[in-house]
Structure 1
């Protein structure tokens, strides 16, 4: 199981145009969206553990189950780091007014990730 990604891997994923994740819009964990886990083994709030789909695969899944919403992985990483505030996705009325903190990714392994400005 993947627990962390280095900055080079994140940069490649951000730039990838055809990598998607599926959000299960029927539930949230706290303020985090749920995504299909790698190899369809349940759900996760961690994008590093989410199953990666092509656009065609994601659209087929969405067609079969309308509550599974495709999102381009690179867009979510840029917005949120490795978890996604469901309010940013517009999935929960209770979360729509919430501000979210963006995470700044750093190259230096000694420097921790820090919340960005609000």
Structure 2
């Protein structure tokens, strides 16, 4: 297996399609032919430094690539006079930016390779059968010029495309969950208190009130007595 990789930006997709680092680090692209190709060492180094840049084996990605068409680049003039071959797209129906095409048996398919090819008259006849469905006719040659190879997130196989391809997953630091509170000492009795405001010295009563959401005790003695009673109750139930 070839040890060449694409680097996927795992933070987001465009519809179902993955984004990859473009050639020479010039942003991101969904077009595999414009994606930068990394060696094993380069891919591992980038993966180690930023865990969201996930290397995927180029050979395996290429095998599962689908050809799609970005609606942003569709020709404005639609059908072009003088062409022999035409395809039909569904208007206002996209996967991310990618167009759906009329395929065999009247199904819509986002993979352009599955689009049915018509003569111009046959395309007009198809349109007339279901005028309620919004479609548009395009010259196949013009669509061929803007079609691109893409890869979908659902086709990712982490074991085959990452670990079996030689990439080691970097160890992620475990972050201890926190309540967001800051430890302090009660200015009255010196007992340890916790509060969300790191710049305030919470009294026992203030810390208890913030924890409950309402005031229940007026001073440290009442809070301490309530804790002792609660502890005694728990110990009694356990016994």
- With the shorter chain as reference, the TM-score category is 0.5 to 0.7
Q: How far does residue 18 in structure 1 lie from its aligned partner after superposition? A: 2.2
Give the root-mean-square deviation of aligned CA atoms.
Answer: 1.7
Who is 2:48 aligned against?
63
In structure 2, do the counterparts of structure 1 residues 85 and 47 end up closer, same or farther at CA, with 3 Å as the change threshold?
Answer: same
Where has structure 1 moved over 6 Å in runs of 4 or more? none
Give the unaligned 5+ runs of structure 2: 67-148, 159-239
Bigger-Rg structure (1/2): 2
Question: How far apart are 1:89 and its partner, in Å?
Answer: 1.8
Count of aligned pairs between the two proteins: 76
Q: CA deviation at 1:90?
A: 6.5
TM-score by length of 2: 0.30
TM-score, normalised to structure 1, is: 0.60
List runs of 5+ in structure 1 lacking aligned partners.
1-15, 92-118
2:153 alignment partner in structure 1: 86
1:53 pairs, out of 28, 38, 45, with 38
Q: Secondary structure at the match of 1:77?
A: helix
* 1:102 alignment partner in structure 2: none
CA distance in 2, matches of 1:56, 1:86: 24
Q: Secondary structure at the match of 1:51?
A: coil
Q: 2:3 aligns with which of 13, 18, 25?
A: 18
Give the aligned partner of residue 28 of structure 2. 43
